[in-house]
């Protein structure tokens, strides 16, 4: 008897169909962020990261060109079960020699190499306007700036990104998400909290005035509790973003590194999904007050996954968002993607309907006993079976491929 066959029988004894769980997981797409591969640098700016974002570490082998970044993405996806999506930032536009334009003038032609790449691999594409690492973001204010010309520049950038997102959906034949996050805020206590938020509201309204295909293109608004250099006040707070999204018919995006350390996104999802048909997620791992650490198979990731499955994954745009330059970047990508998939698989390997009935009937002793029982079932054997049937390395083998790629490819980069 194979290990998977034995595991399958043990799960069946608890009312769980492992084959169905695996099949359902294979239909869940995760939008993998492109910026882990080059420390959020992109291709339109040689300067440092600015706007509340910081990457630490100098591990060798960072991607320096679109070709190298795409090769590294290919390697990562070869180690991850299933077909997914790629989440781009606008600063990853690819310019032919002599064709550079500023961000307010971006167009689909600057992303055709990405759509060609995605179509060849059966991937979908999502997009984030890039409101940081730019001279017109130097003040720390973009869509909320008191300078009208600054606001207009970023409004035009956002509208350009909306056209590009529509292009992604059409070319890839999959729904595409455009997520808006701004770094705007103040380091110290502001004299005026309302003004910046009123200007941000007007800017967003102007962006949304542009017609777009709402059947295939979705817009989300991402909040944040604070940023580097804007510790005292962020314009796009949680309350603002939820209120705006609800009132304008767009999606809220929950990033689990963008809240107070005592808050958990897993507890927010069931509340939000009562009032929104769809929502979006950036899954990461926060440490104290800092987000964007590599996703681990930890309690909060597992709780988020449980809520995704309970809610119906088709209602949720699932994306990753982290960057670590202190370790092998491909290993970081792979770890995060595989850990998120593990959490989703674990959530699918739960007799959720039975557990809900026990809760509703007040049979809490039986509930906790059964919840504890399934923790010792051979989950790892089910995961390894998934890896085997999707043609990716097992948990014991994938890192060997990363080390070989580092030796053969990454180590040869200057």
Phi, psi angles (nearest 5°) of residue 74: -55, -45
Active site residue 154: no
Distance CA 337, CA 80 (A): 7
Active-site choice (44, 184, 255, 324): 255
Catalytic residue among 38, 72, 307, 321: 321
Indicate which residue of 239, 290, 298, 361 is catalytic: 290
Residue 277 is a catalytic residue: no
Give the active site residue among 62, 159, 224, 278. Answer: 224
- The verdict on whether 44 is a catalytic residue reads no
Residues 6+ apart with CB under 8 A from 125: 85, 86, 87, 88, 114, 115, 118, 168, 171, 172, 174, 176
List 282, 306, 342, 385, catalytic entry: 282
Which member of 222, 300, 303, 307 is catalytic?
Answer: 222
255 is an active site residue: yes
Catalytic residue among 184, 292, 346, 406: 292
- Catalytic, 333? Answer no
Q: Which of 114, 154, 181, 333 is catalytic?
A: 181
Judge contact between 300 and 339, C-beta under 8 A.
no
Is 224 annotated in the active site?
yes
From 75, 85, 258, 278, the catalytic residue: 258
Tell me whether residue 260 is one of the annotated catalytic residues: no
Residues with catalytic roles = 181, 222, 224, 255, 258, 282, 290, 292, 321
């Amino acid at each position: 008897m194979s290990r998977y066959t034995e595991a399958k029988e043990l799960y069946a004894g608890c009312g769980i169909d492992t084959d169905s769980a695996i099949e359902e997981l294979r239909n869940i797409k995760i939008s993998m962020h492109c910026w882990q591969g080059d420390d959020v640098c992109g291709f339109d700016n040689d300067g440092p990261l600015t706007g509340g974002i910081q990457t630490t570490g100098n591990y060798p082998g960072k991607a320096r060109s679109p070709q190298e970044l795409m090769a590294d993405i290919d390697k990562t996806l070869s180690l991850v079960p299933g077909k997914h999506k790629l989440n781009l930032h606008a600063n990853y536009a690819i310019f032919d020699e002599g064709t550079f334009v500023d961000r307010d003038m971006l167009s689909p032609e600057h992303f055709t190499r990405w759509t060609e790449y995605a179509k060849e691999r059966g991937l979908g594409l999502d997009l984030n306007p890039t409101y940081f690492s730019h001279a017109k973001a130097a003040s720390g204010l973009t869509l909320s700036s008191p300078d009208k010309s600054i606001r207009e520049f970023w409004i035009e950038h956002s509208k350009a990104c909306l056209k590009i997102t529509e292009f992604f959906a059409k070319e890839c034949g999959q729904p595409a998400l455009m997520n808006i996050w701004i770094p705007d805020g103040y380091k110290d206590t502001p004299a005026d909290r309302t003004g910046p938020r009123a200007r941000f509201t007007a800017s967003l309204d102007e962006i949304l005035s542009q017609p777009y295909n709402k059947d295939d293109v979705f817009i989300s608004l991402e909040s944040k509790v604070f940023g580097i250099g804007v510790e005292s006040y962020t314009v796009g707070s949680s309350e603002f973003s939820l209120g705006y999204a609800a009132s304008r018919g767009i999606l809220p995006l929950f990033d689990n590194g963008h809240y107070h350390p005592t808050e958990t996104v897993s507890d927010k999802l069931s509340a939000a999904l009562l009032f929104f048909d769809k929502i979006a997620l950036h899954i990461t791992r926060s440490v104290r007050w800092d987000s964007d650490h590599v996703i681990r198979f930890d309690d909060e990731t597992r709780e988020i996954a449980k809520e995704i499955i309970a809610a119906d994954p088709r209602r949720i745009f699932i994306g990753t968002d982290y960057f670590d330059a202190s370790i092998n970047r491909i290993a970081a990508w792979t770890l995060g993607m595989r850990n998120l998939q593990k959490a989703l698989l674990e959530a699918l390997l739960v007799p959720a309907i039975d557990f809900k009935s026990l809760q509703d009937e007040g049979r809490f002793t039986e509930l906790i006993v059964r919840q504890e029982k399934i923790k010792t079932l051979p989950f790892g054997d089910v995961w390894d079976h998934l890896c085997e049937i999707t043609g990716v390395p097992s948990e014991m083998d994938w890192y060997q491929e990363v080390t070989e790629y580092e030796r053969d490819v990454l180590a040869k980069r200057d």
